[in-house]
Amino acid sequence: MKKTNVNYPHPVLSASNEDYLNSSFDIAFLNDPQIEGDTITLSMEYALSCPSLENYVSTGGAKIVVYIESPVAEYREMFSFDTSENPRIITINKNDVNRKLEIKGYLIATKSLAPFKLPEHNKELVGEIPFNIRPGDILAVSEHFFNIPIEMYDPLADRPSIFSIRQQFDHPNEEVMVDFLSDQKIKILLNTDTYEKYRKLYEAPEVRTILASFFAAPVLVDVLGYMKNANDEDLEALQDKKWFAVINSRLLALNINLKNEESLTRVANQVLPHVFKMSVESFGQLFDALIPAGGENNEN
């Protein structure tokens, strides 16, 4: 996305070249990104100054899109503007992204355009020969792109973002199992009895932190152990897993090399900051709320 000086086989409206005369295209934010709960809201607008390309947009021959990427989380998505929609409100699940968002605007052809020969083309550069445009070809690249830091949307702060607790039926005698090789999340699998007890306890908001830590901490130690002992081929197979990208980015930020670590419990407490301390504190708060001061029994 940062490489705006790409050579295209046809004229492209861009601030990095002179394919067009007296024309411009850009995207901008109406206000700062907003976060509420699990949702990131982006209010964006575009500005296109080129009558011929504007005509393509209004008649359906091209569309304005915003390409959003979070490289660490391997999140990539494209959002388009309807012909009558400017500005555009874009919403993203905060659990899908990590560390930063990279945002770029494009004008993309939606159908074949031939001959593609516009009055705004710089004839001294592109000549007089008409071009053939295919659906999906880029016609314009926004002048600005954005790198938005999103450390405040830390997926590990909301542990369910990389952990998924599910009921399993295949091994009824196994109270808890873990599967981190088959999915984007680390799946904690509970048998029916354990899961039903967990589900009932989870209904009370004040115990959710304790429950999350209770399962996440020991499972994370298992996962870190696998990562520590995995060979290069095994690690390569994990590259497309969201949980691996999130945990690996945290290890890099902490400058931790698992191969040199003896205590993975200590590492887990850094990856999930103070998870054991938080569990104790949460339990203490719950205990104080349930038990009267001094341990007195109010029953007569």
In DSSP notation, the chain reads -----PPPSS--B-TTS-SBSS-EEEEEESS--EEETTEEEEEEEEEEE-HHHHHHHHHTSEEEEEEEEEGGGTEEEEEE--TT--SEEEEEEGGG--SEEEEEEEEEESS-EEEE--TTB-HHHH-S--EEE-TT-EEEEEEEEEEEE-GGG-GGGSGGGTEEEEE--S-TT-SEEEE-SSSSSEEEEE-HHHHHHHHHHHTSGGGHHHHHHHHHHHHHHHHHHHHHH--HHHHHHTTT-HHHHHHHHHHHHTT--GGG-S-HHHHHHHHTTTHHHHHHHHHHHHHHHHS-GGG-----
Residues 109 and 127 in one domain: yes
Q: How far apart are CA 182 and CA 271, in angstroms?
A: 22
Residues 50 and 128 in one domain: yes
98 in a structural domain:
yes
Q: How far apart are CA 83 and CA 155, in angstroms?
A: 35
Residues 128 and 244 in one domain: no
Residues 105 and 168 in one domain: no
Residues 287 and 162 in one domain: yes
Residue type, 261: E
298 in a structural domain:
no
Residues 284 and 175 in one domain: yes
Say if strands 113-116 and 24-29 run parallel, antiparallel, or are unpaired. Answer: unpaired
Last residue of a domain, one of 99, 123, 153: 153
Residues 161 and 287 in one domain: yes
Q: How far is CA 216 from the centre of its chain?
A: 21
Q: How far apart are CA 163 and CA 271, in angstroms?
A: 14
Residues 177 and 69 in one domain: no
Q: How far apart are CA 125 and CA 19, in angstroms?
A: 7
Phi and psi of 59, rounded to 5°? Answer: -100, 5
92 in a structural domain:
yes
222 in a structural domain:
yes
User: Which residues contact residue 214 at a Cβ distance below 8 angstroms, ignoring those fewer than 6 apart?
Assistant: 279
End-to-end CA distance of the chain: 71
Residues 202 and 108 in one domain: no
Residues 110 and 141 in one domain: yes
Residues 69 and 106 in one domain: yes
**Domain enclosing residue 262, as ranges:** 157-292
Last residue of a domain, one of 153, 182, 206: 153
Could you tell me the CATH number of the domain that includes residue 44? 2.60.40.10
CA dist list (Å): 84 to 23, 108, 111: 21, 17, 19
Residues 284 and 161 in one domain: yes
135 in a structural domain:
yes
83 in a structural domain:
yes
Query: Number of structural domains, the chain?
Result: 2
Last residue of a domain, one of 106, 128, 153: 153
- Answer whether 39's CB lies under 8 Å from 205's CB: no
Longest dimension (CA), the chain: 98
* pLDDT attached to residue 126: 87
Residue-level pLDDT, tens digit, the chain, 300 residues: 334 445 788 999 999 899 999 999 999 988 878 877 778 899 999 999 999 999 999 999 999 999 999 887 778 999 999 877 888 999 998 777 877 889 999 999 999 999 999 999 999 988 888 899 999 999 999 999 898 877 544 444 444 468 888 899 999 999 999 999 988 888 999 999 998 988 888 777 667 667 777 888 889 999 999 999 999 899 998 988 888 988 988 898 889 999 999 999 999 888 877 666 666 766 776 677 666 655 555 444
13 in a structural domain:
no
267 in a structural domain:
yes
* pTM as predicted: 0.52
